[in-house]
Structures are given as structure tokens and as C-alpha cells.
Amino acid sequence: MFVVNLRRVARQILAFLGILLLVYLFFNSRWYLERVYPIHHRDIITQYSLENDVDPFLVVAVIRVESRFHPQAVSAKGARGLMQVMPDTGQWIAGELGIEDFDPEMLYDPTTNLKVGTWYLALLKREYGGDLALTLAAYNAGRGNVSKWIEEQRWTGREEDINCIPFPETREYVKKVLRLYDTYRKVYRGRWEA
């Protein structure tokens, strides 16, 4: 009787472990992960990532955190569109890019928003020597704030010191974007390269 019960328990344990394995495989399958971490506007992102020499996965991670891919998104401070560009920043960038008759409403258009936002992200990346933590902090909080934090030695600007970023919103923003950047690169490795 005892041996029969042990066999039944062993079968139940194996069945349970088999189910756990299937669940693990499902939640780590490429099919599932591509639905949890989608990429919308892929062609436009690819175009402007190539034009501005920015990793498209970084652009996607920024969009995911900024707007969750909603072109009509508006922040409490008035930033607009996929990459949440402020109207004044959009106006300045439009001038730099030679976009005539710029209107802040154009920031709701995915093509215009990605053109402007990707250009600005690339500018910041160059300005900060390719350092992603500094680039993302400046994208979120502004270059003036980042310069002030470093000048006042409130933040070293290094990724390992992200927890020292004075603005909690910016601190969490940088962490989220970097985490999503890594995730998108893993999920789409070899399946989408700009």
C-alpha cells in the first residue's frame, strides 16, 4: 500500500513539474514575448534610427516608456506623441531639420514625431559620448538639469549610480528604459536589425 502511494505521489510530482516546464516554456517563447513586447511603427523607427545612427531598440524602449505606442498621448506637462516631445523642443528641432510650417499638432503624427524624437535622442547620445544613462536622463529631465546634477556632484552620470539621480521620476525613467532596451534586444535578437 505504501509503495503504491509513493508511486502515485511521484507521478503527481512529475505531472506538476511537467506543467511547470510547459508554463515556463510558454512564457519564455518568442511568440508570447513578442506580444508582451510589441513593436509598432517598425518601418518608421527603422528609417529614422538608420538616419540618426541610433539603435532602434533604444528608440522602441523610449517609446514604450513614454507613450506605450499611443500616437495621441499627451503628458501632464504637454509633451506629445509617441516619443513625448514638448512643443517648444519640437519647434526648435523642426527648425534644425528644415521642417517648414511646423505646428505642434504635427507631433501627433507618428512620422513627424519619430523624425523629431529620434533626431533629438541621437543629438543627446552624441553630446553625452554615447552614455545611455546620461542620454536618457537628459531626454527625460533636460540637459540643463543633468549638467547641474553633475556640476553639483549630486550624480556622477554613471549607470551604476542611477539611484543617485535627484529626480525620482527621471531615476525610474532611466531604469525602465534601460531594462526595456535590454529586453527588446533579447526578444528580437536576429529578427529585426536596422
> How many CA atoms within 13 Å lie on the side-chain side of 94?
19
Point out the catalytic residue in the list 66, 127, 169, 172.
66
Quick check: is 152 catalytic? no
In sequence order, what DSSP letters do the residues of 148-181 get, joined into one string?
HHHHTTS----GGGGGG-SSHHHHHHHHHHHHHH
Residues in Cβ contact with 83 at an 8 Å cutoff, skipping those fewer than 6 apart: 59, 62, 63, 66, 67, 113, 114, 116, 117, 118, 120, 121
CA 135 → CA 100, 113, 128, distances in Å?
A: 27, 18, 6
CA 35 from centroid of its chain's CA atoms: 16
Q: What positions carry a catalytic annotation? A: 66
